[in-house]
Amino acid sequence: MDLKQSLTKRIVIVFALMSALVAGVFALGIVAAVHVVEHRLATSTLSGGLHRLLAMEDINRWSHQPEKSELFFFEGGPGAMALIPSLASLAPGFQEISFDGDDFFAMVEVVGGRKYVLLRDQESLEQRERLLFIVVTVGFVLSVLLALVLGRLLARRVMAPVIRLARQVRHRDQLLVLAPPLHPDYAADEVGELALSFDQTLGRLRETLSREKLFTSDVSHELRTPLMVLCGSCELLLANPSLDARSTAQVNRIARASHEMRQLVDTFLMLARAEDDTGSDICVTLKDVADAQSEIWGRLIREKGLEFFYEVEQPCMERFNLTFLQSVMGNLLRNAWHYTDHGFVRLTLTGNGFVVEDSGIGIPEEQRQAVFQPFVRGDEGRGEGLGLGLSLVQRICKRQHWRVQLSSGQSSGSRFSVELKPAAQDGGQLRALPAA
């Protein structure tokens, strides 16, 4: 039996097989019993018929005839009753023989040194056995069909609590804090134990998720203060005219890292919130974010000796979540800047998203799915990154119902295309970015 079938089907199959086995045993028992009874009845009938013939009159003046389906022979008998050699060799008693191409029951007795043989045609018995076989076969088939119907009805009744529990688990959001437990609705049986185990497991999962969200929110919130201090200190240092070029470059690097960290903190805070909690989010157009990101990363890419192209193929006037869009575009531009040593980096805005393409080392096709997993890096020998950038991009896109795809670029580099879904379609009331 295929264990991958549904439990209802397995119950029906087992019930049908059990019924077929019982019906088969009964059918074989009936056929065997009838066969034995028929043989015993034939033995008794032939023995009585032979004694009846022998008791009718003197054998030397024989005039009586056997029954219509019987043949009578004896040694020294007249005409057709004469015992032929093939019958003369029969042993005394009841037996089955073939005579003139037909099957007969034979009763042989020796009385006064003379052998008597009474034959009865088996045609009537064979007809009754054929009829019995047909009746038993039809009864067996009907019993199996009835077992299938009853098994299906009984399986539905037996599986009703399990099906109900499965539907409740599948269709009701049990992760909500106010969701009621399931086990009070079920009897104290195996299904009730299953519902109780699910409630207990779900409770532990809910506590774990709550602790994770609280930890993410608390850590992200507490990081904001030192980051603001770092950003303010960098602004003060950059305003100092006595700062030399090397120190200015280092301060700019600290300021850029602080800005990226602050953006990452905002992203984690957004991801820690409930998916439908979007009431205070800021939404902007794709070009607003692309202009800001191209200004930041364009300067860094050119400082590395690369060419940076910023193209707008088709303006997109839809609005998107500011924090998430900045994080996705920024991580993809950072990835292109990090893994490209020669050539170019191109940011292209399309009608429904954007494309980041580079002429870097590229990613082999067999590794393209793995790079979106946490702690997976394209080249393990480059930099000190942990391989979380593309994983964060994938997580944000899944949260926002966006789609990110990786393919090979025209210059054997990487090409990331992101298809965006407008934030307004998610049902949230997002705030537009105020004019500068």
* DSSP secondary structure string for all residues of 41-64: HHHHHHHHHHHHHHHHS-GGG---
- Of residues 21 and 66, which shows the higher confidence score? 21
- Listed ranges 101-105, 237-241, 329-333; the one with the highest mean pLDDT: 329-333
Query: Each residue of 386-424: pLDDT tens digit?
Result: 456 788 888 889 888 899 998 886 667 889 999 998 765
Residue 381 has pLDDT above 50, yes or no: no
Name the band, by pLDDT with cuts 50, 70 and 90, for residue 188.
Answer: confident
Query: Which residue(s) pair with 312 in the sheet?
Result: 349
Query: Phi/psi class of residue 305: alpha, beta or left (left: φ > 0; alpha: ψ in -120 to 50)?
Result: left
- Characterize 110-136 residue by residue with b for buried, 16 or more Cβ atoms within 10 angstroms of its Cβ, and e for exposed: eeeeebbbbbbbbeebeeeeeebeeeb
What is the model's pLDDT at position 61?
56
- pLDDT, tens digit, for every residue of 252-263? 888 878 877 777
Among 241-250, 361-370, 394-403, the range of highest mean pLDDT? 394-403
173-273 classified as CATH 1.10.287.130: yes
pLDDT of residue 373: 74
What's 276-432's CATH class? alpha beta
The string over 320-337, giving b where at least 16 C-beta atoms fall within 10 Å of a residue's C-beta and e elsewhere, is: bbbbbbbbbbbbbbbbbb
Q: Which range among 160-164, 301-305, 411-415 shows the weakest confidence by mean pLDDT?
A: 160-164
| CA-based end-to-end distance of the chain | 70
Q: What SS3 state is found at 354?
A: strand
pLDDT of 5 reads: 62
Over residues 1-12, mean pLDDT = 67
pTM for the whole thing?
Answer: 0.51
| Selection from 385, 395, 314 nearest residue 355 by Cα | 314
pLDDT at 333 over 60: yes
So what's the pLDDT on residue 328? Answer: 92
Portions of the chain given CATH number 3.30.565.10: 276-432
Where in the chain do CATH 1.10.287.130 domains reside?
173-273
Tokens linked to 364: 């082999």
DSSP characters for 101-119? Answer: TEEEEEEEEEETTEEEEEE
Mean pLDDT, range 301-310, rounded to an integer: 92
DSSP three-state, residue 307: strand
